[in-house]
Every structure is written in C-alpha cells, then in structure tokens.
Amino acid sequence: MKVIIVGGGGREHALAWKLHRDDPSLELIAAPGNPGIAELGRCEAIAATDIDALSALARREKADLTVIGPEGPLEAGIADRFREQGLAVFGPTSGAARIETSKTWAKALMLRAGVPTAAAETFSDPAGARAEVRRLGAPVVIKATGLAAGKGVVVAQTLRDADDAIAMMLEKRAFGDAGGEVLVEQFMTGEELSIFALTDGTHAQVMLAAQDHKRIGEGDTGPNTGGMGAYTPVSIASDAVMDDAMDRVFMPTLAAMRAEGVPFTGLLYAGLMLTPDGPKVVEFNCRFGDPETEAILPMMESSLLDRMLTIAHSGSLKDLSPLRWRSGASVTTVIAAAGYPGSVKNGDRISLPPITDGVTVFHAGTKRDADGALVTAGGRVLAVTATGPTLRAAQHASAGYAAAVTFTGRQFRRDIGWRDLARAGA
C-alpha cells in the first residue's frame, strides 16, 4: 500500500506517524515533507500547491491514497483534480472547502441550517463595517472572509482596535483579496474547544476534543500565534457537549452541504465556543488542525488509515466500528524560534536529546543544511507530544523534553493544559 501526504508541517508529520503505525509496511511519500517525515518515508521536493506535479506523482507512483494536509491546495481544487483523474484523495472539493475558505459563505450556511453561531454581517465598505462595530459595541470580532494564514481574525477589545482591524483588512489590504470583505461578528464569551470529525459526507466519527493554546505566553498572554500547544482529552468536553456538537453542529452542517450540492468529505474541524447558551461555532476548518492533530493522533487506537481509505474510495463510515482511544492524556508543546510570532531567523542548529518513554517529536519548521545537520526553518519548529496516565504527567514529560531541546533563542510554554489542571485544582 502506497500513501502520499501533501504538506510539510507538524500536522503532516503526525499524520505520517499515525498511518505508519496503522500499517508499518506502508510505503509513505510526502510532498514536500520534512526531516521528521523523512525518517518514515520518502520526501519529494514538490510544493503542496503544485497540483499538476502532485497528481503526476500520484499517477506515476500508483498511489492508493493521497492525504491533503493544508487548506491552500484544497481551496485551489486539488481534491477535484484528483477525483477527475480517478485518484483516491482524502480531502474536500474546493466547493466544500469554502466552509473554511469563505467565512461569509460558511456563516450564511450555518444561519440557514440553524447551526448555533454568533450573528454577523459582511462588509466590503469600511464605513459600513465601522457603523456595525458601533452598533454592536466592543468587544467585537473582525474576520477577513478568505484565507489569511491564521491571522485573519481580530478580537477587538475597543472600538479603536476594531477600526484598526477594518483599516488593515479593507483599506490597506493586508491579506489581499482574502481581506476584501470582512465579517463583523458578535463577541462570544466562553472557552474554546477544537472538535474534529472524520466524515464521508453523511456519517461522522468524532475524535477526542482538544484545546489549542494560541497565545505566545504562559497563562494565555501576549500575541496570537499559529498555536503553541494543545492537549486532549478536555474535561469540559462532556458527553453532553460532544452529543450537542454532533446533533446541532456536525449533522446539520453536513446535511446542509449535501443539500447545496457540495457534500463535505474528509476531516471537518469545528472550532467551538462553549458559551453559557451551549456550544456555538467560532469557525470551521476543512482539514486537520495544527497543533491539535499532534496531541490527538497518539491517543487514537483505531486505524486512521482504514477510515481515510473508506472515505477516499466513497465508502460509508456507517459500517466501521466507533473510534477507540487509549486512556490517559496527551500534551503537545510547540517549540518556536526566537522572534516568533514575528519574523524569525532560520538556520540555527537544533540538538535533540534521546527520546524518553511516551514522547514523540513531530517536526514542523526544520530542514537539513548542506552538512546534513538539523536546523530551524520556520516559526514553529517542533511539536513535542507526550502521553501519560494523567494530564499533569503528560504535561511534565512534554515540557521536560522541550526544555532539553536546544537551539538559539528557542521559546515554548510549560503550561499546556493549564485550564484543566486549574479546574482539577491540580
């Protein structure tokens, strides 16, 4: 069996790791991959957005499955092109990927389908957006409607911050066309949860809920990042919350997408806010989340490969057994480069200590230099996951390993999972 993974970050390393665990004889190819994935398979120097070269690779290699990691190629129609050519692909069509790539489209779909979410209006004129901000009052949320590399959402605490965000997106065009329209959305209070569902378009299998840590500093302080760590399971994701997410979020969204003629197959990620009125959707993503995937997959006992193959070959998840999970907890600590989330310097040598029990190191922004040494090559460099019998044990092992990794100016948080530990009084 031969599988291609498109992408080259920590999420794609975790996917490769899990698929290899599901079938150790699997032949893995990653494009472009990274030095961590290279220990599990072969890396091809093809960009994740080069759809022609990727489909040629899949045909040449007679791949049984291609798994798309990032949203960019999905927006560009990689899954449509693969399907047109009879190639098995895990990931939604470009039309279905709009659930992430057009926040305006996603919001309209949710409101039509009765999926709980904050009220919002779309604007392309700055004056209209500013008037709406004044009607709602601060705090208020300003979202670029298109893909903005994780930077398109501003939670404005004051009207002035909201005006600045509107100017940045609509007038200065900081995100180009992706910010040519903005949503002005009511602020929701509560705690966020990330819930992933594997889906064939009709049936869904929901994975363990996780919580991302988006701020750079401990205690969730400082600027937003692409994610400094994640943990699973999360105590507030009770059975009632998970049932609610299935019945009021995933099922109506999948039904609405089928009715619109854009069935969603692949991995649907719901970013939820647990408000006093129940879970509400903050956003959907059309792919696995990062770094949540690095925390969730080491807990998964069921085969991800079987489910991906079923979905990619238009089979039904109905007949597959429910997902099984190991007991205990998993904590992922992201190690970032100096300067992150601002501009970072690349090329610093990384030294990795020997792996300890229960620890897995996923590569994100790394590469090999001309001498073959492992060096930094991005903002988020490594994702260190530890599983353990308790959240505290997993946090201790993950942060402990991260502390022993060395490269110039590395930064990481030691408190991943702090909300649940505080709740438990641990």
Give residues in contact with ligand GLY (CB under 6 A): 150, 212, 227, 285, 289-290, 292
**Of 67 and 375, CB closest to ligand GLY:** 67
Tokens of 337: 């480069």
Tokens of 149: 């590399």
Say what angle helices 251-259 and 94-101 make with each other, to 10 degrees. Answer: 130
**Of 150 and 400, CB closest to ligand GLY:** 150
**Shortest Cβ distance from residue 385 to ligand GLY (Å)?**
14
**Of 22 and 192, CB closest to ligand GLY:** 192
**Of 196 and 407, CB closest to ligand GLY:** 196
**Of 36 and 69, CB closest to ligand GLY:** 69
Distance CA 18, CA 303 (A): 8
Burial profile 182-206: b = 16 or more Cβ within 10 angstroms, e = fewer: bbbbeebebeebbbbbbbbbebbbb
**Shortest Cβ distance from residue 279 to ligand GLY (Å)?**
17
Select from 175, 185, 75, 176 the least CA-distant residue to 123.
185
Contact 155, 139 (CB under 8 A): yes
**Shortest Cβ distance from residue 247 to ligand GLY (Å)?**
24
236 phi, psi to nearest 5 deg:
-75, -10
DSSP structure class, residue 246: I
**Of 26 and 331, CB closest to ligand GLY:** 331
**Of 29 and 230, CB closest to ligand GLY:** 230
Distance CA 260, CA 276 (A): 31
By beta carbon distance, the residue nearest ligand GLY is 289
Contact 257, 96 (CB under 8 A): yes
Rounded to 10 degrees, the C-alpha dihedral 19/317/101/8 comes to 0
Distance CA 338, CA 341 (A): 9
DSSP for 83-133, written as a single string: HHTT--EES--HHHHHHHH-HHHHHHHHHHHT--B--EEEESSHHHHHHHH
Distance CA 8, CA 331 (A): 21
DSSP structure class, residue 73: H
**Of 251 and 267, CB closest to ligand GLY:** 267
